[in-house]
Chains A and B, each alone.
Chain A
Amino acid sequence: MKIRIKFSKQGTMKFIGHLDSMRYFQKAMRRADVDIRYSEGFSPHQIMSFAAPLGVGLTGSGEYLDIEVHSSDSSRVMVKRLNEVMAEGVEILSFRRLPDGAANAMSLVAACDYTVRLREGYDNCGFWRDFFPGLNDFIQNGNLEIVKKTKKGEKQMDLRPFVYEYRLLEDRGMFLKLSAGSSVNIKPELLLEAYCLAKGQEYQPFAFLINREEVYADTGSEGSHQFTKLEAFGEEIE
């Protein structure tokens, strides 16, 4: 049986990289006695895959991983059991059964929501004071063509078609819905960097607190997007 797990990764857990997060969850499955399936062979590994790696330094409120199990208690019990063995900063939000033959989370990813805020100490001075209104304006009217570094060299790219939504947050910050996944993956840092560049300011990676809010699949038909939370593909186990 395929299961999709939604979790949040907050606080000091943001320093734990993707590979270590995977190791963390493998051990957590054993601690919680999840009846997870293993591959065959001398060093069997758990059948587990993540929707999208979260970079070191970023937090997440709607992260996903898929596993396969032989059996399971109700969703409510499984969430509770897993939360009992979590480290501070990780919380299991849902544990849902996927229909047979469901595509795995990683292959579905089409967009992510982010909120961007300024770190304390950056929020009051000069350029940074009006950072978000400026950014808002830039996304609306500016030139979003950037030079993206790839393995094969540099590539010209227009970000505009991949910014699906943006709006100012009331408590000083910015909401962004950006294209993600295997086809076009736009990290929020790209946009922030482009704006700084356009303003002739040095990009400061430590100035920002970025939280990934949610991960979506695109269930729309040709030409029109219909973003569906990955969680929605599964159903609660009673």
Chain B
Amino acid sequence: MRKLALPDEILLSIQQPARYIGGEVNMCVKDPESVDIRFCMCFPDVYEIGMSHLGLQILYDMFNKMDGVYCERVFSPWTDLDQRMRKEQIPLFALESQDPVRNFDFLGITLQYEMCYTNILQILELSRIPLHSVDRTWDDPIVIGGGPCAYNPEPLADFFDLFYIGEGETVYADLLNTYKVSRAGNDSRDAFLKKAAQIPGIYVPSLYEVQYNGDGTIRSFLPSCPEAPKTVIRQVVTEMTDSVYPEKPLVPFIKVTQDRVVLEIMRGCIRGCRFCQAGMIYRPVREKNVERLKELAWQMLKNTGHEEISLSSLSSSDYRSLEEIVNFLIEQFQGKGVNISLPSLRIDAFSLDVMSKVQDVKKSSLTFAPEAGTQRLRDVINKGLSEEEILNGAFEAFQGGWNRVKLYFMLGLPTETTEDIEGIALLSEKIAERYYEIPKDQRTGKVQVVASTSFFVPKPFTPFQWAPMSTKEEFLGKARIVNHKMKEMLNHKSLKYNWHEADVTVLEGVLARGDRRVSKVIEEAYRNGALYDAWSEAFRNEIWMNAFETCGVDIGFYTSRERNLDEIFPWDFIDTGISRDFLKREWERARDGVVTPNCREHCSGCGVRQFGGGVCYEDTN
């Protein structure tokens, strides 16, 4: 029997012991003694969330396909186990070998959302790794971060030895080699970090020095040694079809959020919505060959036994072989106990047709993401979805038997007016009215329109990186306007409106565009009990507010402040391939309400053509 790090007494008295025992189907088993490098991959949230993340499965598979490398996993212990581990002094361990995380060569932490930052400190502390990079020795693993939040790693600068900027499939092999050579040659840890800094895409925060102006903005952000480059270039996979993909993904025992085979059909998005960070940092769009996808679908279903397969991309309707892959899935798997799920499809005749084939119309709902309530504001954010398209799509769907609609909007977008805010209610009403245009005998009961709003957080490397963010009071005021307007609508009984607290959004705003000085706030909040901030039941705003107070850090400086066009941002040392001029141009066009065509209509010269692949070259082959 595999040994476990936790005794039965603990495992049988905490929630979901299966989170901590490993041993899942397709888990990689290697002899830790016989490998050169032990890599512990961490998703700093609970098992069920972390195991649902595609990127983790891709990297797990990639590392374990390398000779001499054994990659294992660790997730945040839930609060019940956290307490037991502290009380009984049990060090945090990896799931595969159940060995302490501290024994590993690397601890790689994926950074998917800002609200997991205190969980990172929990992982380090429970692993008995010093929180600060400067305090670590060769007895500690190299702590490396990657993922979307690494596009502004500065609020985490103190806690990480390295950051990986870009897609993990590219330079990890180089990094591991450099490490091996360094260890064999008895390099100091600092010497290794300097060597790592020379690998494209690797950022070593301790090798940079930041100076500030009197008003708190950055005066200079420069390498403090010759080894560190001035800019760190984002790593991009140019050929998606041949890139590694897990044919044998792990199959958790317990139900996780994403309990299905996930087929990544393409990376990136051609649309260029101005609020969307993913749409920028994953440029250019790169499609995966449809034949390869068919093969993967077979293999992955066979190797996991999952009862569902889902397509994954930022905007599946833009995948050029969508019809082919969808029809293939339906023909091959429909009626054989495999459900097919198709998220992020634009509502049109094709998608309605396939949706009616793969799901129960009566039980499912239609989803639109207009993001803004008026055409004017949708033009500002470059969301190429017109009211007419929404209303026609809804009407067609109603005729097809659907009667539930979900709408997603954002509040607090740049240039937003009361009219835009009220537009959310008006658009919801118009959709409901469309339903009642259908003759009574052809309707299937009542219509239900559920509108949800989230609060807009400006993100680095988007045209809105300069935009001031609304304050908490402004956000809530806007939500009240929507709520009030909804009640005035003729069909208000068919409309439902959801929004949530603004506290977390404000924090997200600080962390998203924060700098190094925010590190101490995160640490202070953690010390005072902040953990699992992404979980509303665990989030305690007052801890954070006190931490800002104690550390003398002003929230407004990072959120609601209007930023100057030539301000140096904490993330400017990263070269994503997208030119700053393009982002500036887009920010201006946004304020003028001018729409920018998508990459397939017309190339806007954003700069990523230099990577030599994807949509930028579609017409040339």
Q: How far is the CB of B458 from chain A (nearest CB, A)?
A: 41
From the candidates B1, B2, B4, B335, name the one contacting A44 in the complex (CB within 8 A).
B335
Q: How far is the CA of A23 from the CA of B305 in the complex (A)?
A: 10
Cβ of A38 < 8 Å from any Cβ of B? yes
Q: How far is the CA of A57 from the CA of B24 in the complex (A)?
A: 18
Interface bits B402-429 vs A (CB < 8 Å: 1, else 0):
0000000000000000000000000000
Q: How far is the CB of A34 from chain B (nearest CB, A)?
A: 10
How many chain B residues touch the partner (CB < 8 A)? 32
Q: How far is the CA of A20 from the CA of B252 in the complex (A)?
A: 9
The chain B residue with its CB closest to the CB of A46 is: B337
What A residues does B17 contact at CB under 8 A? Answer: 15, 56
B305 and A43 form a contact (CB under 8 A): no
Q: How far is the CA of A24 from the CA of B252 in the complex (A)?
A: 9
Interface bits B1-27 vs A (CB < 8 Å: 1, else 0):
110100011011000011001111100
A27 and B18 form a contact (CB under 8 A): no
A10 and B1 form a contact (CB under 8 A): yes
Contact status of A206 and B337, CB under 8 A, knowing A16-B253, A89-B23: no
What B residues does A11 contact at CB under 8 A? Answer: 1-2
Cβ of A85 < 8 Å from any Cβ of B? yes
The chain A residue with its CB closest to the CB of B251 is: A27
Q: How far is the CA of A220 from the CA of B129 in the complex (A)?
A: 64
Q: How far is the CA of A238 from the CA of B363 in the complex (A)?
A: 45
Residues facing A in B20-37 (CB within 8 A) are 21-25
Q: How far is the CA of A16 from the CA of B302 in the complex (A)?
A: 23
From the candidates B253, B254, B304, B359, name the one contacting A42 in the complex (CB within 8 A).
B359
Cβ of A12 < 8 Å from any Cβ of B? yes
B305 and A20 form a contact (CB under 8 A): no
Cβ of A119 < 8 Å from any Cβ of B? yes
Contact status of A12 and B305, CB under 8 A, knowing A44-B335, A88-B23: no
From the candidates B9, B303, B335, name the one contacting A206 in the complex (CB within 8 A).
B9
What A residues does B307 contact at CB under 8 A? Answer: 26-27, 30
Cβ of B255 < 8 Å from any Cβ of A? yes
Q: How far is the CA of A42 from the CA of B364 in the complex (A)?
A: 11
The chain A residue with its CB closest to the CB of B304 is: A27
A12 and B12 form a contact (CB under 8 A): no
Contact status of A31 and B303, CB under 8 A, knowing A15-B17, A44-B337, A87-B23: yes
The chain A residue with its CB closest to the CB of B24 is: A87
From the candidates B18, B21, B22, B305, name the one contacting A30 in the complex (CB within 8 A).
B305
User: Which residues of A come within 8 Å of B, CB atoms?
Assistant: 10-13, 15-16, 20, 23-24, 26-31, 33, 36, 38, 42-46, 56-57, 85, 87-89, 119, 205-206
Closest 8 CB pairs of A and B: A27-B305, A30-B305, A31-B305, A11-B1, A15-B17, A42-B360, A206-B9, A12-B21
Given contacts A30-B302, A33-B302, A205-B12, 14 further A-B contacts (CB under 8 A): A11-B1, A12-B1, A16-B18, A16-B254, A20-B253, A24-B253, A27-B251, A27-B307, A29-B305, A31-B304, A42-B363, A87-B23, A87-B25, A206-B9
